[in-house]
């Protein structure tokens, strides 16, 4: 498996409530599910999406294992959305754990919620950019500091019962097709418009003799 991983996991069996889960991120479940039986088949869909992204459609792989509903998020878009994950923890009355690991940028992070955010940590290329809350008891076995690496973040997750590597041994996954909600599309358009206005302002402030 790659050193680039992203996920969030909700304690309990929530496969029948996935549309509600994704609503928290302003995404709409299209209902075009792809049930799959091997992890390589899951990876193929996700890799194809990375190679040929679409503006208004995205996919997430979901599975249930060891008492957790696990949602893959190698895009890092969902697992870093603290407001949405805190809301989901309250909505489902359940703990939520999220993580990010990226070997190329040397970034390793995790979050833990139980109704509210209780713990977060982010190692950004050796610099501890975030170290919020009281350390979890399970952290004692790992280097949760500027030396934190893939094995430390995933080791902690495994101590909680979330084993990313075990996905290769499982035989029941569902890949959800998601589309942007109208609210999200409106926000994205507003962001794009603001960006265009900023670029236009920069261009108008250049001296006439500068062409770059």
The domain spans of the chain are: 5-182
What pLDDT, in 10s, does the model give residues 161-177? Answer: 999 999 999 999 999 99
For residue 186, the model assigns a pLDDT of: 83
Tell how far CA 149 is from the center of its chain. 18
For residue 178, the model assigns a pLDDT of: 96
Can you give the pTM of this predicted structure? 0.88
For residue 200, the model assigns a pLDDT of: 65
Residue ranges of the chain with per-residue pLDDT less than 70: 1-2, 188, 191, 194-212
For residue 182, the model assigns a pLDDT of: 84
- Please provide the distance, in angstroms rounded to a whole number, between the alpha carbons at the two ends of the chain: 43
The answer to whether the beta carbons of residues 3 and 151 sit under 8 Å apart is no
Cα distance between residue 177 and residue 149, in whole Å: 31
- The token pair at 113 is 């919620």
The answer to whether the beta carbons of residues 118 and 134 sit under 8 Å apart is yes
Cα distance between residue 49 and residue 74, in whole Å: 11
For residue 202, the model assigns a pLDDT of: 63
For residue 120, the model assigns a pLDDT of: 98
The answer to whether the beta carbons of residues 176 and 69 sit under 8 Å apart is no
- The token pair at 39 is 């992890």
Question: Among 67, 94, 97, 85, which Cα is nearest to 7's?
Answer: 97
For residue 169, the model assigns a pLDDT of: 97
For residue 211, the model assigns a pLDDT of: 46
């Amino acid at each position: 498996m790659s050193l680039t991983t992203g996920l969030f996991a909700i304690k309990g069996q929530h496969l029948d409530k996935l549309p509600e889960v994704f609503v928290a991120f302003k995404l709409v479940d299209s209902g075009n599910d792809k049930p799959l039986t091997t992890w390589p088949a899951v990876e193929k869909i996700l890799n194809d999406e990375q190679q040929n992204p679409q503006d208004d459609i995205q996919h997430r792989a979901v599975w249930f294992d060891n008492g957790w509903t696990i949602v893959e998020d190698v895009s890092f878009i969902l697992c870093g959305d603290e407001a949405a994950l805190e809301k989901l923890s309250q909505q489902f009355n359940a703990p939520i754990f999220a993580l990010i690991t990226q070997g190329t940028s040397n970034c390793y992070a995790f979050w833990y919620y139980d109704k509210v955010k209780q713990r977060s940590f982010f190692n950004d290329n050796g610099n501890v950019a975030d170290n919020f809350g009281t350390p979890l008891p399970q952290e004692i076995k790992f280097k949760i500091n500027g030396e934190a690496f893939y094995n430390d973040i995933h080791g902690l997750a495994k101590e909680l019962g979330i084993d990313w590597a075990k996905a290769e041994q499982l035989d029941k996954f569902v890949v959800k097709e998601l589309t942007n909600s109208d609210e999200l599309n409106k926000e994205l358009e507003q962001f794009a418009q603001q960006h265009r206005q900023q670029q236009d302002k920069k261009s108008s402030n250049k001296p006439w003799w500068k062409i770059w």
